Structure 1
Amino acid sequence: MYEGKFPHKRYKLTFEFLEKHISKESLILDLGIVNPFTEVMTNAGFKVSNTLGEDLDTNTAAIENSNADVVTAFEIFEHLLSPLTVLKSIKADKLVASIPLRLWFSPAYRSKTDTWDRHFHEFEDWQFDWLLEKAGWEIKDSKKWTNPTKKIGVRPILRWFTPRYYIVYAERIKK
């Protein structure tokens, strides 16, 4: 149905995963500012609002005051110093989150020009799972995928076989 409408492989796979687990009737709070994937979700009929660019490490008010049924966080947690604080502040019972996985053959991403666009964490899947569990979430489904490039070299070849992205659907553990 959406073939050819996604600018990136990861958008297509993220959308398919989201659509598998989340009803279009749900209210979604997407962590981070409005972005191209926000448009993909809203154009497909999802009801999405975003945080406004506040520093979520120090200000979780937008999350705590949200009445969303679902929180999405697509490539957000690696930018936070304290993702545990953010995960614990979520009031919604459902979470869909993706992260770039740590690659043994490549250092963490660090922009030299943008102080926000840096990765403080690049998780292995088990580390992210543990973080979610510690924050009170139970993973119900997950998926990994590769991110091949059309460049020449050892690293580009490894990207054809080594998963780069990890996405999870989790539900709040009832106490």
Structure 2
Amino acid sequence: MYTKLPSKRYNHTLNFLKKMVPAPATILDLGVRNPFSEIMEQHGYKVYNTTGEDLDLVPEIVKKYNIDVVTAFEIFEHLLSPFNVLKAIECKKLIATVPLNLWFAKAYKSSTDMRDRHYHEFEDWQFDWLLEKAGWEIKQKEKWTSPIHKIGFRPILRKFTPRYYAVYAEK
């Protein structure tokens, strides 16, 4: 069904999730249903997804579910104000991943889908401050690279420069 899954990123994300909140657990995964939703279910999690609401305009949607943890995998960079959603979450556990700002690559901007744009690509400390300001206490964090199999200066840098930042936080 899905042919080009980012297996390295998914494996890191799944391992981080399993380490912080072992299955079975009930998850509200911010964002529409996606291949990773199915992967979490295959590993014993019950997963609810938001349905495409603009989380900048209706951050309170996160209060609708009775869950153990909120996950947000590469979601907050698409919001103008991730603070509002982070503040609205009533669940006591959060696992989030964000793309890190890379000095050698511009922020992602889709030329075909206006919704698929990054308003933020964070430095790790910026995301930490955002979480803390929204009332979260960071308990664990991890980074990993995202190498691409091409030739060139930037592909070489991607082998050594962390691209993704994962955080487990509690209220």
Q: Do Structure 1 and Structure 2 share a fold, with TM-score over 0.5?
A: yes
Q: Distance in 2 between matches of 1:91 and 1:100?
A: 24
Q: 2:57 aligned with 1:58, yes or no?
A: yes
Contact 1:144–1:164 under 8 Å retained in 2: yes
Q: Distance in 2 between matches of 1:23 and 1:151?
A: 36
Which letter maps to 1:100?
P
Contact 1:66–1:91 under 8 Å retained in 2: no
Q: What residue is the counterpart of 2:119 in the other structure? A: 120
**Offset of 1:7 from its aligned partner?**
5.0
Q: Distance in 2 between matches of 1:157 and 1:14?
A: 23
**Offset of 1:24 from its aligned partner?**
1.7
Q: 2:148 aligned with 1:149, yes or no?
A: yes
**Offset of 1:69 from its aligned partner?**
1.7
SS of equivalent to 1:165? strand
Q: What residue is the counterpart of 1:77 in the other structure? A: 76
Q: What residue is the counterpart of 1:104 in the other structure? A: 103
Q: Distance in 1 between matches of 2:66 and 2:55?
A: 17
Q: Distance in 1 between matches of 2:156 and 2:22?
A: 37
Q: 2:4 aligned with 1:11, yes or no?
A: no
**Offset of 1:83 from its aligned partner?**
0.1
Which letter maps to 1:136?
G
Which letter maps to 1:82?
S
Q: What residue is the counterpart of 2:20 in the other structure? A: 21
Which letter maps to 2:63?
E
Q: What residue is the counterpart of 2:86 in the other structure? A: 87
Q: What residue is the counterpart of 1:36 in the other structure? A: 35
Q: Deviations over 1:46-104 (max 9, x none)?
A: 01100010000001232022221200000000000000000000010000000010000
RMSD: 1.0
Gaps in structure 2 of 5+ consecutive residues: none
User: Once the two structures are aligned, what percentage of the paired residues are identical?
Assistant: 63
Q: Distance in 2 between matches of 1:7 and 1:45?
A: 21
Contact 1:98–1:168 under 8 Å retained in 2: yes
Contact 1:94–1:170 under 8 Å retained in 2: yes
Which aligned runs of 4 or more in structure 1 are off by greater than 6 angstroms?
none
Contact 1:57–1:81 under 8 Å retained in 2: yes
Q: What residue is the counterpart of 2:44 in the other structure? A: 45
Q: Distance in 2 between matches of 1:148 and 1:25?
A: 32
Gaps in structure 1 of 5+ consecutive residues: 1-5
